[in-house]
Structure 1
Amino acid sequence: MSEPRVAALVLNYNGPRVTLETLDSLVAMRSPGTELMVIDNGSTDDSHEQVRRRFPDLRQLRVRENRGISWGLDHGLQVALDEGFDYALVMNNDIEAHPEMLVEMLAVTEADPEVGCVGVKAYYHSDRGRIWSAGGILRFREAITRERGEGELDRGQYDRTEEVPYVNGVAMLIRRNVLERIGLWDPAYFLGVEDADFCVRARRAGFRCVYAHRAVLWHMISASIGVYKPFRTFHTARSTAIFLRKYAAPHQWASSLLWFVAALPVAWLRELPRGNQRAVHAKVRGLLDGLRAPLPPLPTAVRDLVPPSAPEASP
């Protein structure tokens, strides 16, 4: 039997240093039939040239402008579909992958055709035995998603491959027929919960999303977008509102909005000594923007992409 063909896609925006570190680990990843590609999502620095100098034979897909994570990834997913790849592996540009990561992910999908998406056990890069994600949970609070095991020392408590509500897009292996059936990632999300949205759609179409505990990486968490900054708080709140509009039942709406309102004074008091109240203001603006943003039809191909309505500059 021939090896499955995998399009391994790394999304970069103005992050050449971490992107090159990520690529160093990925070129050592043992999996025949895999082509590694970098999607340059409208970078305004010399990322493209730095990648070319270090990896002259690596294919780079250049997107003209940055309209968000989904927007960039969809250009790579379209290449995977057009060129007959069996799988697409979407990844952050701030990871260190174990050489056997993809092999372990493929072992799960090849054993069960109903598995549509596979995720990894992700550790903190700065604390290599501490878990960042062991699969995802949907909870409809202030944040829609939660990473299972986040912050816990790994004592084997998540050493079981199993179905989960969603898998984090830090590294997600997607079977081709999932994309053919449900389409690409939703570009309405600029940043935040785009991976959970895709998994919800996949599960509703009859596929399973599975956490593969033997597939391992280390995540340089927030290396490219910061932690609690206005740009991030705006877009994550906006994405939360869009996700609620698409999927939430009335009681989930109520739960999420109550948690959101209750968290605002806590965030204000926490950020006040840092002079970072703008990030709290941006969070409110993001939620309001997400509640009124138009939701275009889901794209089945790049030609169908409708630019998201969110502001492209930092709020």
Structure 2
Amino acid sequence: MNKVYIIVLNWNGWQDTVECVESCQKLTYPNFRILIVDNGSSDGSEAILRNRFPDIEFIQTGANLGYAGGNNIGIRYALAHGADYIWLLNNDTTVTPDALTALVDVAEKNPQVGIGGSKIYFYNKPKTLWFAGGHIDFHSGETLHMGMGDLDTGQFDYRREVDYITGCSLLARRNLIETIGLMDEEYFLYFEETAWCVKASLAGYKVVFVPESVIYHKESGSTGARSPLFYYYMTRNRLYFLKNFGRKVKWLKRFYSDFRGIAQFIKNDPCWGQKTRAITQGYLDFFRGRMGQRK
């Protein structure tokens, strides 16, 4: 039976992590290990989680290394301890008992499947979709969560290849990681899993949406919903993604879209100043080659 390591990355969010881990403990898949990776939390998370889950493996990174950096540490550990599959799971999620079994079953039936992802509902709206597969516009860098905000009527209940799987719930097979390497830590936050999926596709692996695997997501636990920090990383990292993976990039369309967004902020958003500065700094840092964590 294949061994799966479930990596749950925590940063100042032990309450969510407790709920996530407790839901994972009810999984029906017979051979999994949970690994909590704490990204240098300052809210007492490490002591609380170690005390709450004394039998669960735990790594302290010592600093906030971002989504890619923290998860990469967990992935290295899992591979060194014999993992056949890695399941990256946001700490602000809860899982259904068969969620992992469904992902592994699909991967085992087709060795070309390198990455699989779940159907994801909003945590507080359990029949409303948050993610049913990802689409990328490689000309502009726009990404789309298919079905987001739609009431689930079964319209996405079929397995299919997609452009990307959200890092909220992403199963990766061992030989894929050994082939394409770990996630790019230059992103720090956002787009790193999207780039990883594109690299998987370019290496000949399939990236597959698995609707039988179901989880629930609280959304935006790390940066706040549409906060200035969100706009900074999304702006900068989208440009970085386009530089690395774009196809016939329509740069003027990209610039126009972002600055039209700024105009909308100025017109409608009381926090327009902060968000405008965030987008502007995202552009400046990209052109200066300043990646990683925002300084």
Q: TM class, shorter-chain normalised?
A: over 0.9
Per-residue CA distance 1:287-312 (angstroms, 9 max, x = gap): 22123326xxxxxxxxxxxxx54435
What corresponds to 1:65 in structure 2?
A: 63
What corresponds to 2:93 in structure 1?
A: 95
2:140–2:251 CA contact under 8 A, matched in 1:
no
Per-residue CA distance 1:81-128 (angstroms, 9 max, x = gap): 212210100111100101100000011000000000000100000110
What corresponds to 2:51 in structure 1?
A: 53
Per-residue CA distance 1:177-196 (angstroms, 9 max, x = gap): 01100000000111111111
Query: 264, 267, 278: which one pairs with 2:265?
Result: 267
Work out whether 1:157 is the aligned partner of 2:140.
Answer: no
2:180–2:199 CA contact under 8 A, matched in 1:
yes
Query: 284, 288, 291: which one pairs with 2:287?
Result: 291
Query: 143, 146, 152: which one pairs with 1:145?
Result: 143
| Inter-partner Cα distance in structure 2 for 1:22 and 1:292 | 39
**CA-CA distance at 1:229 after TM superposition:** 1.6
Query: In structure 2, do the counterparts of structure 1 residues 252 and 99 end up closer, same or farther at CA, with 3 Å as the change threshold?
Result: farther
Q: Secondary structure at the match of 2:35?
A: strand
Per-residue CA distance 1:218-266 (angstroms, 9 max, x = gap): 1001133201222222112111111111111343433322222222211
| Inter-partner Cα distance in structure 2 for 1:208 and 1:267 | 39
Q: Secondary structure at the match of 1:214?
A: strand
Aligned 1:5-44 pairs, distance under 5 A = 5-44=3-42
Work out whether 1:281 is the aligned partner of 2:277.
Answer: yes
Sequence identity (%): 32
**CA-CA distance at 1:64 after TM superposition:** 1.4
Q: Secondary structure at the match of 1:251?
A: coil
Aligned 1:250-265 pairs, distance under 5 A = 250-265=248-263
Gaps of 5+ in 1: 295-307
1:41–1:66 CA contact under 8 A, matched in 2:
yes
| Inter-partner Cα distance in structure 2 for 1:253 and 1:120 | 32
User: Amino acid of the residue matched to residue 267 of structure 1?
Assistant: F
Q: How many residues align?
A: 295
Indicate the RMSD between aligned Cα atoms, in angstroms: 1.6
What corresponds to 1:128 in structure 2?
A: 126
Query: In structure 2, do the counterparts of structure 1 residues 252 and 112 end up closer, same or farther at CA, with 3 Å as the change threshold?
Result: farther
| Inter-partner Cα distance in structure 2 for 1:262 and 1:142 | 14
Query: 244, 249, 253: which one pairs with 1:246?
Result: 244
Q: What TM-score results when the alignment is normalised by the length of structure 1?
A: 0.90
**CA-CA distance at 1:276 after TM superposition:** 4.7
What corresponds to 1:214 in structure 2?
A: 212
1:228–1:279 CA contact under 8 A, matched in 2:
no
Gaps of 5+ in 2: none
| Inter-partner Cα distance in structure 1 for 2:86 and 2:235 | 28
User: Amino acid of the residue matched to residue 293 of structure 1?
Assistant: G
| Inter-partner Cα distance in structure 2 for 1:60 and 1:141 | 41
**CA-CA distance at 1:19 after TM superposition:** 1.1
